[in-house]
Amino acid sequence: MKSCFIFGTRPEVIKIAPVILYFKGRNEETLTIATAQHREMMDMMVEVFNIKPDYDLNIMTQNQSLNMIVSRVMERLEPVLVKEKPDIVFVQGDTTTAFTASLCAFHLSIPVAHIEAGLRSNNLYDPFPEELNRRLIDVSCKYLFAPTKRAKENLLREGVEENRIFVVGNTVIDALQLIRERVDMVSLRKELIDSDGYILMTLHRRENIGEKMKSILAATIKFVSENGLKVVFPVHKNPKVREIVKQVIDDNPDFVLTEPVDYLHFLSLLDGAKFVLTDSGGIQEEAPSFKKFVVVTRQTTERPELIEAGLGILAGTSFDTVYEALKDAYKKKVDFVENPFGDGRTSERIYKIIRGDTT
């Protein structure tokens, strides 16, 4: 059986790489296709996991729109799938690459497997366009690999047949285990900052760009100035994000601004942080493994398990709510907990399901 794995962004590589490596480790025939939706940040990750794409569609252009991404992926992916004739296509998550690849495979009658199926915020415009992407992907798939029981329940409520849904955990925990077994986090972190106890911040969501992002940053500036804290902030490549950061933060000495870092260095920053402020989805899954509390600067989250486990707070995006959430987070101490998103055996479960092994 030829298994095809398609990815185009940094988060996709992180979460699909453990499955690729597990299949390769069992001498399965694999085909890897990179769309390069996010060129530089994707390239960082394929190097970390030593994955060399068999095909690179190289679709990224400056100021690309979502429709441009869809059209380029569809145009360049179809001839590869027609030529290679895979028996199954794996996509991960909720990116425009994942949506378009699943649609392209469906049009060619190739079965699709969705890693991280069933996540829902129940607001089509938050996160945008991810909420719609993941719903459309799930409609077309033969295998829906849900990370949690909550994700499975979401799918069942939408009328998805139960025999297509498999609760397997989240592959990001597999990735963390692969990395932590062989990396000295402290040494890596000292290459970037020779201290710990800072707040780790990431901001990039499309729906937050503009006044919402300015409010989040302003609340953070007030909080850290009052508490003598530093913020380590790898700034996303998006020019609109960078413009806002430059405008609001400027040369504020409480902020350590860096270029986006590779995944290993990012995890080392997470390891040394006091807590995390983010609008990212993936960090909500990774932080519990490092015993870090998360302030989620969004109106909704498709990962409510984090909040329900007492490991995070949904802060919204206004100055007042973010400021109050930061004060709450500063008081929190996360003791040992099991990560609600997985146990590190997700890739194994996916492999066995595809192979029909129910033991």
Catalytic residue among 12, 126, 130, 131: 130
Q: Which of 158-162, 194-198, 280-284 is predicted least confidently? A: 194-198
- pLDDT cut 90: percent of the chain above it: 85
Instruction: Tell whether 149 and 198 lie within a shared domain.
Output: no
Mean pLDDT of 244-253: 95
The structural domain count of the chain equals 2
- Annotated active-site residue 265? The verdict is no
User: pLDDT at position 42, please?
Assistant: 87
Instruction: Tell whether 314 and 245 lie within a shared domain.
Output: yes
User: pLDDT at position 359, please?
Assistant: 58
Catalytic residue among 39, 72, 114, 116: 116
Catalytic residue among 120, 150, 204, 265: 204
Q: How confident is the model at residue 358 (pLDDT cuts 50, 70, 90)?
A: low
User: pLDDT at position 41, please?
Assistant: 81
- Annotated active-site residue 204? The verdict is yes
User: pLDDT at position 182, please?
Assistant: 79
Catalytic residue among 12, 38, 72, 94: 94
Instruction: Tell whether 123 and 93 lie within a shared domain.
Output: yes
Instruction: Tell whether 120 and 235 lie within a shared domain.
Output: no
Q: How confident is the model at residue 283 (pLDDT cuts 50, 70, 90)?
A: very high
Instruction: Tell whether 86 and 163 lie within a shared domain.
Output: yes
Predicted TM-score of the model (pTM): 0.84
Instruction: Tell whether 209 and 98 lie within a shared domain.
Output: no
Mean pLDDT of 155-175: 97
Instruction: Tell me the pLDDT tens digit for each residue of 286-315.
Output: 999 999 999 999 999 999 999 999 999 999
Mean pLDDT of 22-50: 93
Residue 339 lies in a domain: no
User: pLDDT at position 180, please?
Assistant: 84
Instruction: Tell whether 210 and 317 lie within a shared domain.
Output: yes
- Annotated active-site residue 38? The verdict is no
- Annotated active-site residue 191? The verdict is no
How would you list the strands of the sheet with 2-7, edge to edge? 55-56, 29-34, 2-7, 88-92, 112-115, 143-146, 165-167
Average pLDDT, the chain: 94
Instruction: Tell whether 292 and 266 lie within a shared domain.
Output: yes
Residue 180 lies in a domain: no
Catalytic residue among 236, 265, 298, 303: 236
Catalytic residue among 206, 254, 324, 345: 206
- Annotated active-site residue 116? The verdict is yes
Residue 338 lies in a domain: no
Residue 177 lies in a domain: no
In terms of residue numbers, what domain contains 325?
185-331
Instruction: Tell whether 286 and 265 lie within a shared domain.
Output: yes
**Domain of residue 297, CATH code:** 3.40.50.2000
